[in-house]
Structure 1
Amino acid sequence: MSDLLAALLLGIIEGITEFLPISSTGHLLIAEHWLGQRSDLFNIAIQAGAILAVVLIYRQRLWGLALGLREAAQRDYAIKLAAAFAVTAAGGLLVKKLGWTLPDAIAPIAWALIIGGVWMVLAEHFAARRAQALGERTEITWTVAILVGVAQVVAGVFPGTSRSAATIFVALLFGTTSRVAATEFAFLVGIPTMFAATGYELLDVYRSGGMAHEDWSALSIAFVASAVTAFVAVKWLLRYIQSHRFTAFAVYRVLFGAALLWLLPAAA
């Protein structure tokens, strides 16, 4: 397989999986096992493409928040977004200081996919019961804001967990009963989180001289592929959750994780 085609496939995988609750990091680590490992700059670039897509989708919401900071409700929402990001940033820096690195073995990622899928089914069940008992609640509480920040750190430490799944279900279990409201908050807090992580990693790559030997053609193709597919995937997900639960994603995770464990001897 040519290097450009491999880059295209990795960009598409990142774009599809970054914001769906199925774990982009887990899918990329698995894909790189067969398509070849990429530089840190490459992985940063395709993540930036996915972030750009979400910024474009939520541009009106973001602009409305910026213009409406004088309104109490808008200001409260923005402060809670900032608090969730601050918790994530502090936790992320702590993880970095401890010297944690992503595992490159398939088995732990496969198990994380399976366990995460089972957890999603249980979380969906309890969230539905909670919604039935409390009715429609769209408010984001301080408890949710803090726990969403913690969930992002946990998802970053364990590939296969899924940042979007962790944050959405934390919101549904401990605050809002609306899938739409939970998803919006999870995605909005993901924007500064991923921009900060991308900037941090980019600065690290620049300081270490990692930009000098990069294949910029492959990187550009992957960036565009990630941005386009992420835009389509997020648009589809936002429509899907208005009338569907997340169960299909949980089933996919379990089946995919089980298939990886079954194929593990051949993949090793």
Structure 2
Amino acid sequence: MSDLLAAVVLGIIEGITEFLPISSTGHLLIAEYWLGARSDLFNIAIQAGAILAVTLIYRERLWHLATHLSQREDRDYAAKLSLAFAITAVLGLVVSKAGFKLPTTVTPIAWALLVGGVWMIAAEWFAQRRPDRTTITWTVAALVGLAQVVAGMLPGTSRSAATIFVAMLAGTSNRAAATEFAFLVGIPTMFAASGYELVKTLRGNGAANEDWTALGVAFAVSTVTAFVAVKWLLGYIRTHRFTPFAVYRIALGIALLLGLPAGA
């Protein structure tokens, strides 16, 4: 496969999986197992494309929050977003400074996909037996911030799945409300993480010998694909459960565990 075609494939994978509850990092590591590893700058670029797409989707909501802070409800919501982001930023920096490294083999990702799928089914079952509630509490905000850190340390977990289902179990049982908060707090979190990694990469001369054409194409593909995927997801969850995503995760995890060579 040519480098340009591989870049397109990886851009599509990132765009589809970044905000769907199936783990973008896990899918990209699995894809790179067969397509070959890409540079850190490339991975930052395609993630930035997905974040840009979600920012565009939520642009009116973000503008409303920014221009209506005088209203108590909007000020309270923005403060809870800030709390979740702050928890993620502080703990994420601690983890990074501690020298934590993501696993590079597929086996732990397969287990995370499998266990995470089972957990999603159980979490939604429990959440749906509670009264429908759209309120975001301070506890929900704090736990969402913590969930982002845990998901970042365990490829295959899925940041969106971890945050959405933690919110649902912690009291925001409404799928749409939990998803919106998870996605909104993910925007500054992922922009900050991407920016941090970009600075480290450029300081380490990580841009040397980069294929800028492939990187640009992958960024554009990721942006467009993520926009379509998230718009579809937001409509889907209004009337459907997350169960199909959980089943997919379980099936993929089992398939990987059965099909991978030892030590992969």
The TM-score with structure 2 as length reference comes to: 0.99
Alpha-carbon distance in 2 for matches of 1:176, 1:126? 12
Q: How many residues align?
A: 264
Alpha-carbon distance in 2 for matches of 1:118, 1:138? 24
1:177 is displaced (CA, Å) by 1.7
Matching of residue 48 in structure 1 with residue 44 in structure 2? no
Alpha-carbon distance in 2 for matches of 1:95, 1:137? 33
Q: Name the amino acid aligned to 1:208.
A: G
Flag structure 1 segments of 5+ consecutive residues without an equivalent.
none
Match of residue 65 from structure 1: 65
Match of residue 145 from structure 1: 141
Q: Which moved more, 1:97-106 or 1:184-193?
A: 97-106
Matching of residue 174 in structure 1 with residue 170 in structure 2? yes
- Structure 1's consecutive aligned runs of 4 or more residues displaced over 2 angstroms after TM superposition are none
Q: Name the amino acid aligned to 1:92.
A: G
C-alpha RMSD of the superposition: 1.0
Q: Deviations over 1:207-233 (max 9, x none)?
A: 101112111001001100100000000
Q: Name the amino acid aligned to 2:73.
A: A
Alpha-carbon distance in 2 for matches of 1:177, 1:29? 32
Match of residue 204 from structure 2: 208
1:178-197 correspondence runs (5 A): 178-197=174-193
Partner SS state of residue 138, structure 1 = coil
Alpha-carbon distance in 1 for matches of 2:9, 2:94? 33
Match of residue 159 from structure 2: 163
Alpha-carbon distance in 2 for matches of 1:263, 1:226? 28
Match of residue 259 from structure 2: 263
Question: Are the structure 2 counterparts of residues 196 and 169 from structure 1 closer, same or farther at C-alpha, using a change threshold of 3 Å?
Answer: same
The TM-score with structure 1 as length reference comes to: 0.97
Match of residue 103 from structure 2: 103
In the alignment, which of 228, 234, 238 is matched to residue 224 of structure 2?
A: 228
Match of residue 115 from structure 2: 115
